[in-house]
Structure 1
Amino acid sequence: MPMQPWFSDAKLGIFIHYGIYAVDGVPESWSFYTGKVTHEQYMKQLDGFTASKYDPSAWADLFARAGAKYAVLTARHHDGVALWDTAEGDLNAVRHTPAGRDLIAGYVDALREQDLKVGLYYSHSDWNHPDYASIRHPEPPNAEVSTNPYSHAEPGKEDPQAWARYIAYRDGQVRELVERFHPDLLWFDGEWERSEEQWGMRELSEQILAGNPDTVLNARMLSYGDYATPEQGVPLQAPDGSWELCLTVNDSWGYQHQDHHHKSVRQLVRYFTETIGMGGNLLLDVGPREDGTIPEEQIERLEGLGAWIAKHVDAVYGTVAGLPAGHHYGPSTLSANRRTLYLVFFDAPREAVSVRGLRNAVKRVTVLGADRELGHRVTGGLGEVPGVTWIDAPDAADVDEQATVLAVELDGELDLYRGTGRD
Structure 2
Amino acid sequence: MDTGDTAWLLAATALVLLMTPGLALFYAGMVRTKSVLNMLMMSFVAIALVTVVWLAAGYSLAFGEDTVAGLIGGLDHLGMAGLGPDSVQGTVPTVLFATFQLTFAIVTVALISGAIADRAKFGAWLVFVPLWALLVYVPVAHWTWGPGGWILNHLGALDFAGGLPVEITSGASGLALCLIIGPRLGFKKDAMRPHNLPMVMLGAGLLWFGWFGFNAGSALGANGLAAAAFLNTLAAGCTGLLGWLFVEQRRDGHPTTLGAASGAVAGLVAITPSCGSVSLLGALVIGLTAGIVCSYAVSWKFRFNYDDSLDVVGVHLVGGIIGTLLIGVFAVAEMTGGPEGLLYGGGLAQLGKQLVAVVAVAAYTFGVTYGLGKLIDRTIGFRASEEQEHTGLDLTVHAETAYDHGVLGHGAPVTSATPAPQKAKA
Give yes or no for TM over 0.5: no
Per residue, is there more helix in 1 or in 2? 2
Task: Identify the structure with bigger relative contact order (alpha carbons < 8 Å, sequence gap 6+).
Answer: 2
- Give the TM-score taking structure 2 as reference length: 0.26
Structure label with greater radius of gyration: 1
Per residue, is there more strand in 1 or in 2? 1
